[in-house]
Amino acid sequence: MRKAIEKQIATATAAAMLAVVSGPASALDGWNWAGMDIKVGGFLRQETAISTTGDKNVANQNGNVFQDRTVERQAYLPPEMSANLVRWGDLPIPFADTVRRSDFVPNDENDINYMIMRGEIEMGIRISDRVSFNSRLRAIYQPNVYDDFNGDSVSGFQGGITGGDSKLYHGQPNYMQYIVEGDRHPLPLEWSGRNYQVYFPTFFFEVTPGNGTTAIRIGNQQIAWGQALFFRTLDVPNGLDLRRHLILDKGLEEFSDKRTPQPSIRITSQLTDTLLVDAYISKFTPTVFGNPNTAYNVIPVQFTVHDMYAKNGLDEWDKVSFGLRFKGDYGQFGWQAGAVRRYNPDGVFRWTESGVVKPFDQSLGSVGSIVNTTYALKLPAAVGCPGEFDPTICRLYGSAAEAMSHSPFEVAPAGVYTADEWFSYAASTRLQAIEGFNAAVRDFPALQDAFQSEVADATELRAALNTDFMAAGGSLRGHLAREYFKETNLMLGGSYVLESENEFLNQLIFNLEAQYTPDRVFTAPDLSKGFKETDEYILSLVVDKWHRFSNDFPGTYLVFEILTKNKSDLVGRLLEGFDGSETKSAGGLSGNANYFVFGMTQPFPNKVFEVDFASLYDLRGGVFLQPLVRWNVRGNVTLEAFYNYVDGGLYGNPNNNLLSTIDYADEITIRASLKF
Amino acid sequence: MRVIRYDRQYSRRKFLRDCAAGILGTGVLCPLAQAIADTGTIEKAYPEELLSIEGFTKGRIKTGDVIDASNVEHVKDLLEPVRYEQLLKLGRRLKTLPTTRDAMRLSPWEYIEATLRNAGKAKFDAKGNVVNAADGEPWIGGNPFPDPKTGLELFAAQTLNWGRHDASTYAFKEFEISGKDGKVRFNYAGVWAEFSPVARVVLEPKPYWPEHKDKLRYQTVCFLSPTSFRGTSFLNIWDYDHSTFPNLYGYVPEFRRVRQFPTTQRFEPLVPGSSLYLSDAWAAGDPLHTWGNYRIVGRGPFLAGLSGNWNPSHPNWECGVHGGAAGQSFWDTSVELIPETIIVEAEPLKFPRAPISKKRVWFDARNNAVVGMLTFDRRGQPYRSFDGAYDLYEKGSDRHMDGAHPYWSWVHVTASDIQTGDITRLNQVRVLEGSHRSGANDPDIYNKYLTQAALIKLGASSA
């Protein structure tokens, strides 16, 4: 029923857009109805991103770096089966094999990463001189051009994937839906399905009481704070919606269609000629990541994620974020100061119980059958194990399958198949391979119950993991919970306009912005339940100006930015989880994460053509370059083409820089817009 | 036979003689300012041949005739070269109306009253700022130099108060016409607001808003359509010091916030397809002393629109168009013979890479209003030509009031890029979206358009 309603909404939206596009021009000029002035406008845009290298997203099944690699596995006697007389890796047992992922997970090719049709309708209604209503309806349709993986295709192995939400993990990629456990409609003004998304990024009433110095906006909205472009030092009120083209759209467009709208009350008041105060309170709305096996997914799909937004009650209307900002401008000087108390919308991840009751491999004579049998032979803890629990002789559950359901691992295909893959993906996800395993063992007694024990080094971990994967009959999938925590952001900013006799230096605008967040909660690099709590500061300096290089061309916009963070990278991954590789567990980085941005826009005469360039340089060896050409063909037609070049392996360990995560995303994007 | 006492050559000789001698005394028969002060009209200052198009053309063109390719040769001397070419080759037409002789119809009523009341009270101080001579404070209202002697005085008055109201809001529609096919390639709608905290003659407190006495002007331009530019706005805050660049803040929809822009960014197209710069506003879009070498280079009669152009027959005051390859290039315009214009040139001294090297501006001697502008590129070649039309907004029984008197303002502007043939047309319209209304002296426009909070509000639906 609900699906039918959503389809009807999508169909009605498309029809409304077509009606507006094809309607009389006078309708677009606005009209008066019942004393209210109504204005409607919008655009249709086709967006296509084509890979220029054929590189695949390593976070997805098809792009897995082990997809076509054959890796040897050897099983060992678990210490817990030997009353801890041996360590992991001391005593091989006569089970060894080789495994290649693509023998289980079929390959697929994708040259087109992204193709959507976007339509937006904007409506403004002036109800009175003091009250208006503004809305923007955004509708997006993505056909099945990106076919990465179908969960059904592995149903013949290990009983298939049964954990997690079926819409995300059991079938074809779900391009658009934001799915959390316990709430079928987590975003109040969004209706989405596998291929479509319809929502209101703007849907608010604006009231201007008194003398007009104050404006109050009530409804769904986005709030942008700060002067830095791309760097979100002060831009903290909203999370990001990364479902569509991640952060790979036009760089200088910034996050204009990425900030997740949230129901809010915002009050902006011009206290004096030079002082602005801006306050808001919002229903907490999380950052939305791309779904598993969609083109720009960032969470490796060997993980199954349980988003606890609803289960932890954070989707309730009384779970709010709020903030206050003052902004003063005195011509050459300016300042900002603000404080925000919010739920960090990005969330943090930890191991969580899979809830999947599935035994190890039950084939006769297999490693898994030995584990299942040995487990069954143990004494039930409640019956025969008084006193201290001894996992060698006691068991907590009725079967190994039940034990595994209380662990963060699911016996299932399309997970991690080898210790090499575990190390590699821990490193690329900025997690600690060894500590991550140990944290799972520590935090989940069920794992100890299933003969797992902490390891001391990489050799022991390799032995433990390969034994476990062989016991599983292929691979194990890891289950993560995504949770959200409150934090306080304290922010300061200052601006200065340089006046100089030197033509180039004259009118350089400097903006220095700082954010300090005490006790920020991060994903622990070992995914432990305790997370990682530490103070973080972010400093950014933005220098921009318009400069005329020639008499014939309009001024060139130039922007140069530096950002430094002391605890995490640009997207919030703790630096402690960096510097891992396929052969070693992450040891962490000392010092800060530092980034440089350079961007420019050069309009041609009359602005009919514009050339943009944006770049991001990670000092630890990654670079992103984006040249763009924009052609304003006519008043209502615009064509844009931009190329994204990403190299996360300039030098050093690729897992030490931000950009190796999207190293695959060399692509040309073409956007054709029809405005109305 | 009527004997003409002062024939056309007399006027011409006087204009040339005075100009060559560096003398600027407006009026031919007597000082114009004196004639206006004494009688409220200009008739005593000019001979008959400068008071009607018939007189000037010796009857070849009569008031009410339309000037077009067939008869433009008779008024070639009254036109700048660009309009002449457009009339001759592009089908442009100009309807002729009687010369306005009543000075009270050539500016807002209160502005003229203040001009007469404050005549002789202005001076330039040591910094070159126009001040009230009695106390050295900012100017107190009206035209500070109603009897101008220099080009600088003309530009000073123009820069001090563009729209001649204490506060003005112009809802406008803008059309960009391609020089290749004469079709409208881009069109925009927006609102322009300007607000004077000094030299106020209507809004209380007068003559200054004390807290803002150090400012000359607040001015915002905001685009409402098309959708992709909706909410794009720029706020200029002008210091009273005539040498200081305005602070420039902008709301760009892509950034979703107000950002500060370099103050020198005044020669950039604001939106695609447009060649209009902030610097072009009212032919005096930059602080007075950021330009220099003001010099009078000519005087003489001219044809321009000062009356009969407001179109109340259209519910939104939209004017008709004609001419060009697609019949869309030019506004339907009525012009009258201006007995005397003063032609002043100036150079952008503080803009080292400005795309233009100088501007030539025609001022109507009757009201010192700008009636035409021609800019030149860096090579000294003619670049763009601006002509427009003003009006007192009353026609028959239709009136748009500004307090006790009919509204006086511009009606439309045409900017022609000589080198590409592209044309930009602007039309002041009654209202856009029900809430952006053209008009004058509304104190609420400060909070509605002229603060950073206002820019955020204007960008509302693009948020």
Q: Which of A454, A481, A508 is the last residue of a domain?
A: A481
Residues of B in contact with A135 (CB under 8 A): 461
Q: What percent of chain A has pLDDT over 70?
A: 95
Q: In angstroms, rounded to a whole number, what is the distance separating the alpha carbons of residues A10 and A338?
A: 40
Say if A551 is an interface residue toward chain B (CB within 8 Å).
Answer: yes
| Dihedral sign from CA coordinates of A649, A652, A655, A659 | negative
Q: What is the predicted pLDDT for the residue at A21?
A: 46
Partner B contacted by A206 (CB < 8 A): yes
How many angstroms separate the CA atoms of B239 and B247, rounded?
8
**Range from A652-661, B313-322, B350-359 carrying the lowest mean pLDDT:** B350-359
pLDDT digits (tens, 9 = 90+) for A343-376: 999 999 999 999 999 999 999 999 999 999 999 9
Residue among B421, B364, B261, B88 nearest A558 (CA)? B261
B398-399 and B401-402 beta bridge pairing: unpaired
The pLDDT tens digits of the residues spanning B148-172 come to: 999 999 999 999 999 999 999 999 9
A233 inside domain: yes
In angstroms, the CA B55 to CA A520 distance is 84
Torsion, CA A13, CA A14, CA A20, CA A21, rounded to 10? 160
* In a shared domain, residues A208 and A268: yes
Last residue of a domain, one of A463, A481, A499: A481
Tokens representing residue B38 in the block:
């004494």
In this predicted structure, what is the pLDDT of residue A83?
A: 85
Q: What is the per-residue pLDDT across B361-382, written as a single tens digit (0 to 9) for each? A: 999 999 999 999 999 999 999 9
Query: Three-state DSSP class for A201?
Result: strand
Q: Do A505 and A469 share a structural domain? A: no
How far away is chain A from the Cα of B128, in angstroms, using its nearest Cα?
A: 21
User: Which chain B residues have a beta carbon less than 8 Å from that of A222?
Assistant: 256, 463
pLDDT of residue B1: 43
Helix, strand or coil, per DSSP, at residue A494: strand
A256 touches chain B (CB under 8 A): yes
List pLDDT tens digits, range A119-146: 999 898 989 888 999 999 999 999 988 8
Give the integer Cα–Cα distance in Å for A406 and B353: 71
Distance from CA of A124 to the nearest CA of B (A): 7
Terminal Cα-to-Cα distance of chain A (whole angstroms)? 34
Q: Is residue A502 less than 8 Å (CB to CB) from chain B?
A: no
Tens of pLDDT along A29-76? 567 888 888 888 889 999 999 999 999 999 999 999 999 999 999 999
**pLDDT tens for each residue of A293-309:** 999 999 999 999 999 99
Per the CB < 8 A criterion, the answer to whether B208 and B451 are in contact is no
In a domain, A82, yes or no: yes
**Residues B377-397: what's their mean pLDDT?**
94
Among A140, A90, A82, A147, smallest CA distance to A113 is for A147
Q: Which domain holds residue B270?
A: 1-463
Say yes or no: A80 and A180 in one domain.
Answer: no
User: Rounded to whole angstroms, how far apart are CA atoms A188 and B442?
Assistant: 41
Distances (CA, A) of B71 to A453, A548, B57, B309: 103, 44, 11, 21
Do A155 and A141 belong together in one domain? Answer: yes
N residues, chain A: 676
Distance, in Å, from the CA atom of B309 to the CA atom of B331, rounded to the nearest integer, reads 10
Rg (CA), chain B: 21
Q: What CATH number did the domain enclosing B78 receive?
A: 2.50.20.10
Give the C-alpha separation, B290 to B286, whole Å: 7
The pLDDT assigned to B5 comes to 53
CB nearest to B453's CB, from A204, A226, A276: A276
What does each C-alpha distance from A569 to A535, A595, B370 come to in angstroms?
A: 14, 9, 58
Is A555 in the B-facing interface, judged by CB distances under 8 Å?
Answer: yes
Q: Which residues pair with A517 in a beta bridge?
A: A536
CATH number reported for the structural domain that contains residue A123 in this entry:
2.40.160.10
A560 neighbors A544 (Cβ within 8 angstroms) = yes
Q: How far apart are CA A635 and CA B377, in angstroms?
A: 27
At A547, is the pLDDT very low, low, confident or very high (cuts 50, 70, 90)? confident
Mean pLDDT of B389-400: 95
Query: How would you class A271 by CB atoms within 10 Å of its CB: exposed for 0-12, middle for 13-18, buried for 19 or more?
Result: middle
pLDDT of residue B447: 93
Cβ–Cβ contact A24 with B under 8 A: no
Q: How confident is the model at residue A384 (pLDDT cuts 50, 70, 90)?
A: low
| Subunit contact B422:A42, Cβ cutoff 8 A | no
Statement to judge: residues A301 and A360 lie in one domain: no
Contacts of B463 in chain A (CB under 8 A): 134, 202, 221-224
Residues in chain A within 8 Å Cβ distance of B249: 329
Using CA coordinates, name the residue in chain A closest to B353. A551
A255–chain B nearest CA distance, Å:
8
Q: Rounded to 10 degrees, what is the CA torsion of B20, B24, B26, B27?
A: -40
**Rounded-to-integer distance, Cα A310 and Cα A183, Å:** 6
Domain that holds residue A124: 45-58+109-347+484-675
Strands in A254-408 per DSSP E = 262-270, 275-283, 303-307, 320-330, 333-343, 348-351, 379-380, 394-395
- B268 pLDDT band, cuts 50/70/90, is confident
CB contact under 8 A, B268 and A545: no
Cβ contact A481:A352 at 8 Å: yes
Taking CB atoms and an 8 Å cut-off, how many pairs form between chains A and B? 184
- Quick one: A461 and A497 in the same domain? no
Interface probe with B: pick from A329, A634, A675, most Cβ of B within 10 Å: A634
Token pair belonging to B101: 């002789």
Mean pLDDT of A497-508: 87
Is A551–B377 a contact, with Cβ atoms under 8 angstroms apart? yes
Q: Is A249 helix (H, G, I), strand (E, B) or coil?
A: coil
Give pLDDT, residue B23.
59
Task: Please tell me the predicted confidence (pLDDT) of residue B226.
Answer: 82
Task: Note whether B457 contacts A208, CB cutoff 8 Å.
Answer: yes
Q: How far is A143 from chain B (nearest CA, A)?
A: 25
- Which of B136, B143, B152, B71 lies closest to B110, judged by CA? B143
Amino acid occupying residue A219: G
Q: Closest chain B residue to A123 measured between Cα atoms?
A: B461
Classify residue A207: in a domain, yes or no: yes
The verdict on A161 and A84 lying in the same domain is: no
Q: Is A196 on the interface with B (CB under 8 A)?
A: no
Query: Helix count (H) and strand count (E) of chain A?
Result: 10, 28
Question: Cβ contact (<8 Å) for B272 and A607?
Answer: yes
Residues A126 and A83 in one domain: no
Chain B neighbours among A 422-481 (CB < 8 Å)?
Answer: none
Best residue in A33, A38, A39, A259 to probe B by mutation, most B CBs within 10 Å? A39
Contact A478, A303 (CB under 8 A): yes
The reply to whether A28 falls in a domain is no
pLDDT at residue B22 in the model: 60
Per-residue model confidence (pLDDT) at position A37? 86
pLDDT digits (tens, 9 = 90+) for A556-609: 999 999 999 999 999 999 999 999 999 999 999 999 999 999 999 999 887 889
Mean pLDDT within B227-235:
86
Report the residue count for chain B.
463
Structure tokens at A577: 């989880």
Are residues A213 and B451, on separate chains, in Cβ contact within 8 Å?
A: yes
Kindly report the nearest CA distance between residue A227 and chain B, in angstroms.
Answer: 7
Task: Kindly state whether residue A502 falls inside one of the protein's structural domains.
Answer: yes
Please check whether residue A428 lies inside any domain of the structure: yes
From residue B389, give the alpha-carbon distance in Å to each of A481, B94, B300, B371, B426: 69, 11, 19, 8, 11
Chain A residues closer than 8 Å to B247 by CB = 329, 331
For strand A379-380 and strand A394-395, is the pairing parallel, antiparallel, or unpaired? parallel
Among A120, A509, A551, select the one facing B378 at the smallest CB separation: A551
Regarding whether A343 and A489 lie in a shared domain, the answer is yes
Let me know whether A524 and A671 are in one domain: yes
- Inter-residue contact B49 to B55 (CB < 8 Å): yes
Distance (Å, whole) CA A519 – CA A344: 12
Q: Where are the alpha helices (DSSP H) in A345-453?
A: 367-377, 381-384, 400-405, 419-428, 433-443, 445-449
β pairing state of A476-483 and A303-307: parallel
* Host H or E run for residue A532: strand A532-547
Q: What was the ipTM of the complex prediction? A: 0.79
Among A451, A481, A511, the domain-final residue is A481
**Amino acid code (one letter) for B35:** A
Closest CA of chain B from A589, distance in Å: 33
Q: Which of residues 297-326 of A touch B (CB under 8 A)?
A: none
A395, A411, A304: which is closest to A357 by C-alpha? A411
What residues of A are in contact with residue B447 (Cβ under 8 Å)?
211-213, 270
**Phi-psi map region of B207: left, alpha, beta (phi>0 left; psi -120 to 50 alpha):** alpha
Q: How many domains does chain A have?
A: 2
In this complex, is the C-beta atom of A35 within 8 Å of any C-beta atom belonging to chain B? no
Task: Indicate whether A250 belongs to any domain.
Answer: yes
Indicate yes or no: CB of A554 within 8 angstroms of CB of B268: yes
Flag if A551 and B355 touch (Cβ within 8 Å).
yes
Report how far residue A566's alpha carbon sits from residue A575's, in angstroms, rounded to the nearest whole number.
Answer: 8
Chain B residues inside the 8 Å CB shell of A208: 457
Res B8: pLDDT: 60
> By the 8 A CB rule, do B364 and B383 touch?
no
Closest partner residue to A334 (CB to CB) among B260, B461, B462 is: B260
From A516's Cα to the closest Cα of chain B, the distance in A is 22
Please tell me if residue A242 touches chain B, with a CB cutoff of 8 Å: no
Query: Which band of pLDDT confidence, cut at 50, 70 and 90, is reported for residue A24?
Result: very low
**Residues of chain B contacting A212 with CB distance shorter than 8 Å:** 444, 447-448
pLDDT at A172 over 70: yes
Partner B contacted by A130 (CB < 8 A): no
**Which residue of B247, B256, B448 is in closest CB contact with A256?**
B256
Grade residue A25 by pLDDT with cuts at 50, 70 and 90.
Answer: very low
Confidence of residue B3 (pLDDT cuts 50, 70, 90): very low
| A387-430: pLDDT as tens digits | 777 888 899 999 999 999 999 999 999 999 999 999 999 999 99
Say yes or no to pLDDT of B13 above 90. no
By the 8 A CB rule, do B390 and B276 touch? no
Distance CA A447, CA A408 (A): 8
Partners of residue B331 on adjacent β-strands: B321
Chain B CB contacts of A634 under 8 Å are 185-186
Contacts of A255 in chain B (CB under 8 A): 256
Residue of A nearest to B352 (CA): A503
* Nearest-Cα residue of chain A relative to residue B261: A545
Total count of domains within chain B: 1
Residues of B in contact with A43 (CB under 8 A): 227-228
Look at strands B130-132 and B122-124 and give their pairing. Answer: antiparallel
Tell whether the model's pLDDT for residue A471 goes beyond 60.
yes
With 90 as the cut, is the pLDDT of residue A500 above it? Answer: no
Distance CA A405, CA A399 (A): 10
Tell me the DSSP string of B380-423: S-EEEEEEEEEEESEETTEE-EETTEE-EEEEEEEEEETTT--E
Verify whether the Cβ–Cβ distance B447 to A211 is below 8 Å: yes
Structure token pair of residue A148:
């990465």
Tokens of A77: 């006697």
Residue A14 in any domain: the answer is no
d(CA B456, CA A279): 13
pLDDT band of A549, cuts 50, 70, 90: confident
Which of B198, B59, B82 has the alpha carbon at shortest distance from B132? B198
Looking at beta carbons, which residues of chain B come within 8 Å of A122?
227, 230, 461-462
Adjacent-strand bridge partners of A624: A616, A646
SS (H, E, C) B140-190: CCCCCCCCCCCHHHHHHHHHHCCCCCCEEEEEEEEEEECCCCCCEEEEEEE
Residues A175 and A247 in one domain: yes
A190-192/A196-207 β-pairing:
antiparallel
When CB atoms are compared, the residue of B255, B432, B444 closest to A254 is B255
Alpha helices in A75-196 (DSSP H): 166-169
Chain B contact for A36 (CB, 8 A cutoff): yes
Amino acid letter at A2?
R
Give yes or no: residues A325 and A187 share one domain: yes
Q: Which residue of B has its CA nearest to A335?
A: B260
